[in-house]
Amino acid sequence: MHAFIGLLLAIESLQMGTLPRQWRPSGPNCTEVPDWQVHEYNPNTWIIRESGCTNYEKPFLYLIFGENKALLQDTGAGKTDIDRLIPNLLAQWAKRNNKPVPPLLVVHSHSHGDHVSGDKQLAALPNVTVVPAKPDEIEKALAMPGWPEKLGVIDLGGARQLDAIPIPGHDAADMALYDRQTGLLLTGDTVYPGRLYVRNFPEYVKSIDRLVNFAKDRPIAHVLGTHIEQARTPFNDYKVRTVYQPDEAVLELSRGDLLELQSALAEMKGKPRRQELSRFTIFPRVALP
Ligand SMILES: [Zn+2]
Ligand SMILES: [Zn+2]
C-alpha cells in the first residue's frame, strides 16, 4: 500500500480525545488545590497531573487501559498518596466497564526522581508490576533487546498496543511510548513545553532523529511530555521551582515541533548550545555523575 494512503486509513481509525484548554493552576492558595488533577482524554486514556503544591515539578502521569491490563507511565514526584490514587482509579474504571480490576504495568518516561517517587509504594500493591527505569531492566521486562536502536511493543490486550521507543540523552533510560489507538506520542522530559535539559548531546540528537523517523509514517495526534514550564507567550518560561503558573502554555506539542527541534539540533553541528524556540528551549547540561 502507498504510505500516504496507509496513513490516511490509520488516521481514520484513531480514537480521539480532548485536552484541557488550561490545567488547574497550583494556587494562588495551595489549601484549595487538590493533590492530583485527573483528566479523561477519552474513556480509556487518563492523564494525571500532580499538584505543584505537592512538588514544584508538577509532573504528568499517563494511565492507559487495554482489554487485559492497564499501564501507568511514571509514579510522581516527592511524597504522595499515589498508592491510594491509582487503585482508586483502577477500581473506578473497572466498575464503569463492569470488569475486574485490571493488573497494572508501571513503566517510566525515565529514571529521574520526579518521575519514580512512587515506585516502591506501587510495587508493594497486589497485581502491580513495576519495571525499574534502567535500560537493562527495561530490555528484559519488555522483551526488547538492542537498546537504544531497537523498539519494543507493549500489548495491553484488545487493540491496545504501545510502541516503546528508547530516546536516551536527557537521561540514560528515556523511553517514549506511542499509542497506536489514539496516536498519542508520550515523550517524557525529552520533548515538552519547557527547558529540554540535554545531558548527552550526541545521544539526544540520535534519539530525536529516531523519534522523527518513527513519527514519519504514523498519525501523531499530540506529542505529550511530562512537564509544562513554558508560558502561553512564545519564548517565555517560568523560573525553576515556580509553583503557581496561571498563564502556562498548553501541554500538547505536535509533529511540527519535533521537526523544529530536529533541525535546530542539526544546525548545531555537534556543538551543543542553548537555544530558545517558541515552545521550548534546548538546554545543554553537563552530565551528572
Ligand atoms: Zn528528567
Ligand atoms: Zn522531570
Cell readout for 94 is: 473497572
- Ligand 1 mean position, distance from CA 146 (Å): 23
- Ligand 1 mean position, distance from CA 110 (Å): 7
Q: Give CA–CA dist 108/119, Å, rounded.
A: 10
Share of the chain above pLDDT 90, in %: 93
Cell readout for 232 is: 502561553
pLDDT band at 1 (very low <50, low <70, confident <90, very high): low
pLDDT band at 8 (very low <50, low <70, confident <90, very high): confident
- Ligand 2 mean position, distance from CA 171 (Å): 10
- Provide the whole-model pTM: 0.96
Q: Which of 10-14, 127-131, 273-277 has the lowest mean pLDDT?
A: 10-14
Residue 240's CB: how many other CB atoms inside 10 A? 10
Q: Residue 157: left (phi > 0), alpha (psi -120 to 50), or beta?
A: left
Decide if pLDDT at 175 tops 50.
yes
Decide if pLDDT at 112 tops 50.
yes
Decide if pLDDT at 147 tops 60.
yes
- Ligand 1 mean position, distance from CA 189 (Å): 5
- Ligand 2 mean position, distance from CA 283 (Å): 14
Tens-place pLDDT, residues 12-44: 889 999 999 999 999 999 999 999 999 999 999
- Ligand 2 mean position, distance from CA 58 (Å): 9
Tens-place pLDDT, residues 45-72: 999 999 999 999 999 999 999 999 999 9
Mean pLDDT across 260-275: 97
- Ligand 1 mean position, distance from CA 179 (Å): 21
Query: Per-domain residue ranges for the chain?
Result: 3-284
Beta bridge partners of 38: 48
- Ligand 2 mean position, distance from CA 226 (Å): 6
Q: Give CA–CA dist 172/111, Å, rounded.
A: 8
- Ligand 1 mean position, distance from CA 4 (Å): 35
CA of 170, nearest ligand number: 1
Q: Which CATH class is domain 3-284?
A: alpha beta
- Ligand 2 mean position, distance from CA 59 (Å): 7
Mean pLDDT across 233-255: 97
| pLDDT of res. 289 | 43
